[in-house]
């Protein structure tokens, strides 16, 4: 009765998981187009260095495959940086100059000398009427009237913008010291204000430089968290003026447009406008590929818009400099590889493209490389049915709570089976756990639905690899107890069976994980599965326990048919004489653990070896999804060695081999724990890994067999333990 009940629940669980997976896959297959937007600012600098006009360079980029150009608003800082005839300063710094009053007209001077002016106001001065008119119209269109004062007094024109101490940019702390090097004071110098970086409008010359080439212009709006009630209308008026409705709106700066510090949120006008236009927002991926660049208000806006979001990949400086990379890749091949991975593996649908850099301040001059990059990228994306054009938006998707509950029931059954097989728990206790588990699964889904998703994903990420570990240990145990002399073909067949079954079990676990983290916020990595690191470690600890229970510590083969030696094994292990090489092995294992965990993420300083990177890129060119190197070159070859040693009686070598295999089993499930990676790609990656591992494992077995024959012929016999 219990077996039938368990079987029915497992079948229901598999069906529910399949339905959840289908919903996710259906969403993922609708996002098959990516947009490439060039950064106006950097390409304008590049054009100047190469003696070209900006329009000439953008024409080259259009022919190469760029679909549009991102243009930021003009700011006081950018205009001065471009050597426009204006200057600005904090009022408190301005009045330090004894002759400052000579530079302003009488009306401006009267205002600046009044109590209406504060120390943290920004004072702008210019003699150019066109610049003054541009700034005046842009400021009036965007900000409330109490923010600004204008003074047009003949040749000199003045603008005063109200600031506060919260807007101030300070220098880094510098300590004053006396002649004895004793610290005296720690002054802070106010050098400027955030006002220098707020939007003043879009330069019509720059806009037309783009539009005249036939490229789309994507106007990128800035924000000031005060006096900004008119920002939304001002932005969309400019969009309408230039007929430049963006495919995705990418906010510039530290917060979304219309965000106010006082409310701690964006305006209702922004939400209404984006909702009415069905305009997606761009969320820029962080430099470490974990989450997004911080912008206040964007998480809330994304949620309120039902995750009408496009993931944006910023081509930051260290990527720009991957030209002629490692002395191995000619031109921009490694940059192409980087873009390819971002699009196919991380659901990136907008590339924020910047020019290739020779140094921090100079650019490569070979413009043909851009066409090579985009042609190569487009060709490689065809295999994934992804095209370059308007960015596709992932439709809103939410996992059914009832399907999640039914799916999680299967995890409960598998957990109970695991406990029964390892610890032989009592029947009565098993039924108690069964009842409590069913009630707990239902309750947590309604009480804490977000927590339940994390909990179930974590459970699946551990239960399936541990089941695979148990299977492998029992598999080699049966080989050791069979007293059968295995032929080479027989060993290869055993390895193929063990690997295929174990990987399939972990692959199923990965699909369970993928089904749970299938909500829109997970697919866009606004939320992400936090149990990734822990799910890499827990199966390793479980392996040690199961290994001691099933195979013991220094047991003889004849003792393996009983599990009653567990306590004796623990005592034997704890009373073992500690030798120096034990400590060395422990240190080595600690190092392996650290590297293993560090290499499984992007938040450490451990980098991929150059030779490994070259090999990875080679695999990306020849297969649809590159298999993980730790699986095909470490973990599963170790499993093949373990199978061989079990067949030939070298039992002391089993533990390190199976330990290595565990790393591969956790890696299979871990592939699906990164929610942004499409399910089809993760599945193909692991099936490809399985195929590679079968071949490499067979080679390892053949080599070990040759070495064993040499060993046997030299010593005359081999010892079975």
Q: DSSP of 299-327, one letter per residue? A: HHHHHHTTS-EEEEEE--HHHHT-TTGGG
Q: How confident is the model at residue 579 (pLDDT cuts 50, 70, 90)?
A: low
Lowest-pLDDT range, 84-88, 336-340, 556-560, 611-615? 556-560
- List the one residue out of 454, 494, 496 whose CA is nearest residue 478: 494
Contacts of 532 (CB under 8 A, 6+ apart): 461, 600, 601, 670, 673, 674
Look at residue 719 in the predicted model and tell me its pLDDT: 45
- List the one residue out of 582, 583, 544 whose CA is nearest residue 566: 544
- List the one residue out of 532, 650, 662 whose CA is nearest residue 589: 662
Give per-residue pLDDT as tens, 326-354.
777 788 999 999 999 999 999 999 999 99
Q: How confident is the model at residue 606 (pLDDT cuts 50, 70, 90)?
A: low
Measured in Å, how far apart are the chain's first and last C-alpha atoms?
Answer: 41
- List the one residue out of 380, 386, 444 whose CA is nearest residue 412: 444
Q: How confident is the model at residue 188 (pLDDT cuts 50, 70, 90)?
A: confident
The whole-number average pLDDT for the span 537-547 is 92
Distance CA 463, CA 539 (A): 8
Contacts of 23 (CB under 8 A, 6+ apart): 397, 399, 518
Look at residue 621 in the predicted model and tell me its pLDDT: 84
Q: How confident is the model at residue 583 (pLDDT cuts 50, 70, 90)?
A: low
Distance CA 129, CA 126 (A): 8
CATH, domain range 31-73+204-388: 3.20.20
Task: Return left, alpha or beta for 468; rule: phi > 0 is left, psi -120 to 50 is alpha, else beta.
Answer: alpha
CA angle 87, 130, 42 (to 5 degrees): 65
- List the one residue out of 685, 665, 62 whose CA is nearest residue 341: 685
Instruction: Please provide residue 219's backbone torsions phi and psi, each rounded to the nearest 5 degrees.
Output: -80, 120
**Alpha carbon of 318 to those of 28, 325, 334, 568, 599: distances in Å?**
30, 11, 12, 57, 20
Look at residue 228 in the predicted model and tell me its pLDDT: 94
Q: Which two tokens stand for residue 272?
A: 């209404």
Q: Which two tokens stand for residue 668?
A: 């299979």
Look at residue 576 in the predicted model and tell me its pLDDT: 66
- List the one residue out of 640, 638, 633, 646 whose CA is nearest residue 493: 640
- List the one residue out of 232, 219, 235 whose CA is nearest residue 270: 232
The whole-number average pLDDT for the span 526-550 is 89
pLDDT > 90: percent of the chain: 73
Distance CA 718, CA 662 (A): 28
Q: Report domain extents, the chain.
A: 31-73+204-388, 78-195, 401-715
Three-state secondary-structure class, residue 457: helix
Q: Where are the alpha helices (DSSP H) in 346-426?
A: 368-382, 401-423
Distance CA 22, CA 26 (A): 6
pLDDT at 617 over 90: no
Q: Is the dihedral of CA 650, 582, 601, 541 positive or negative?
A: positive
Q: How confident is the model at residue 39 (pLDDT cuts 50, 70, 90)?
A: very high
User: Which residue is listed with tokens 């971002």?
Assistant: 342
Distance CA 412, CA 415 (A): 5
Point out which residues pair with 255 in neighbouring strands. 296
Give per-residue pLDDT as tens, 433-455.
999 999 999 999 999 999 999 99
Look at residue 603 in the predicted model and tell me its pLDDT: 52
Three-state secondary-structure class, residue 471: helix
- List the one residue out of 631, 644, 623 whose CA is nearest residue 510: 631
């Amino acid at each position: 009765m219990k077996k039938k009940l368990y079987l029915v629940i497992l079948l229901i669980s598999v069906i529910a998981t399949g339905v959840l997976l289908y919903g996710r896959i259906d969403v993922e297959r609708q996002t098959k187009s990516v947009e490439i937007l060039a950064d106006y600012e950097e390409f304008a600098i590049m054009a100047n260095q190469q003696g070209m006009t900006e329009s000439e360079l953008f024409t080259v980029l259009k022919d190469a495959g760029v679909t549009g150009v991102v243009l930021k608003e003009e700011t006081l800082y950018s205009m001065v940086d471009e050597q426009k005839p204006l200057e600005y300063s904090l009022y408190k710094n301005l009045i330090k100059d004894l002759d400052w009053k000579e530079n302003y007209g009488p009306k401006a001077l009267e205002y600046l000398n009044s109590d209406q002016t504060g120390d943290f106001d920004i004072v702008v001065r210019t003699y150019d009427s066109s610049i003054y008119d541009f700034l005046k119209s842009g400021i009036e269109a965007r900000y409330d009237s109490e923010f600004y004062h204008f003074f047009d007094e003949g040749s000199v024109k003045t603008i005063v913008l109200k600031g506060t101490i919260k807007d101030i940019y300070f220098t880094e702390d510098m300590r004053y010291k006396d002649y004895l090097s004793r610290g005296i004071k720690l002054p802070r110098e106010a050098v400027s204000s955030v006002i220098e970086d707020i939007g003043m409008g879009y330069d019509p010359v720059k806009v037309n430089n783009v539009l005249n080439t036939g490229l789309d212009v994507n106007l990128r709006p800035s924000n000031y968290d005060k006096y900004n009630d008119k920002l939304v209308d001002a932005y969309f008026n400019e969009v309408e003026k230039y007929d430049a409705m963006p495919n995705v709106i990418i906010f510039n700066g530290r917060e979304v447009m219309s965000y106010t510090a006082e409310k701690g949120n964006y305006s209702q006008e922004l939400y209404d406008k984006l909702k009415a236009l069905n305009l997606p927002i761009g969320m820029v991926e962080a430099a470490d590929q974990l989450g997004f660049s911080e912008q206040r208000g964007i998480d809330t806006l994304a949620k309120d818009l039902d995750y009408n979001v496009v993931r944006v990949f910023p081509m930051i400086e260290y990527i720009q400099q991957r030209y002629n990379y490692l002395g191995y890749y000619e031109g921009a091949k490694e940059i192409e590889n980087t873009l390819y991975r971002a699009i196919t593996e991380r659901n990136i649908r907008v590339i924020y493209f910047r020019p290739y850099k020779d140094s921090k301040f100079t650019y490569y001059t070979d413009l043909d490389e851009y066409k090579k990059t985009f042609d190569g990228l487009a060709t490689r994306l065809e295999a994934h049915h992804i095209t370059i054009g308007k960015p596709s938006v992932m439709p809103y998707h939410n996992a059914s709570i009832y399907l999640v509950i039914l799916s999680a029931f299967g995890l409960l059954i598998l957990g109970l089976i695991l406990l029964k097989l390892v610890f032989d728990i009592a029947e009565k206790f098993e039924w108690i756990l069964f009842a409590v588990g069913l009630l707990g699964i239902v309750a947590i889904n309604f009480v804490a639905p977000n927590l339940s998703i994390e909990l179930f994903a974590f459970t699946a990420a551990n239960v399936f690899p541990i089941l695979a570990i148990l299977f492998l240990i029992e598999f080699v145990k049966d080989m050791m107890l069979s007293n059968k002399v295995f032929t080479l073909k027989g060993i290869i067949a055993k390895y193929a069976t063990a690997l295929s079954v174990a990987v399939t079990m972990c692959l199923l676990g990965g699909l369970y994980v993928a089904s749970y983290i299938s909500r829109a916020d997970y697919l866009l990595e606004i939320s992400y599965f936090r149990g990734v690191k822990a799910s890499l470690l827990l199966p390793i600890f479980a392996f040690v326990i199961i290994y001691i229970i099933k195979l013991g510590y220094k047991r003889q083969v004849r003792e393996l048919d009983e599990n009653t030696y567990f306590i004796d094994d623990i005592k034997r292990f704890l009373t073992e004489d500690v030798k120096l090489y034990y400590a060395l092995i422990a240190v080595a294992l600690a190092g392996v653990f650290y590297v293993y965990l560090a290499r499984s993420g992007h938040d450490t300083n451990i980098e991929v070896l150059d030779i490994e990177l070259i090999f990875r890129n080679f695999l990306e060119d020849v297969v649809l999804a590159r298999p993980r190197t730790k699986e095909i070159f470490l973990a599963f070859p170790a499993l093949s060695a373990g199978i061989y040693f079990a067949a030939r009686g070298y039992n002391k070598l089993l533990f390190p081999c199976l330990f290595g295999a565990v790393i591969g089993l956790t890696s299979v499930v871990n592939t699906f724990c990164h929610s942004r990676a499409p399910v089809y790609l993760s599945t193909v990656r692991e099936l490809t890994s399985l195929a590679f591992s079968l071949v490499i494992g067979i080679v390892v077995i053949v080599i070990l067999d040759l070495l064993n024959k040499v060993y046997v012929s030299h010593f005359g016999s081999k010892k079975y333990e």
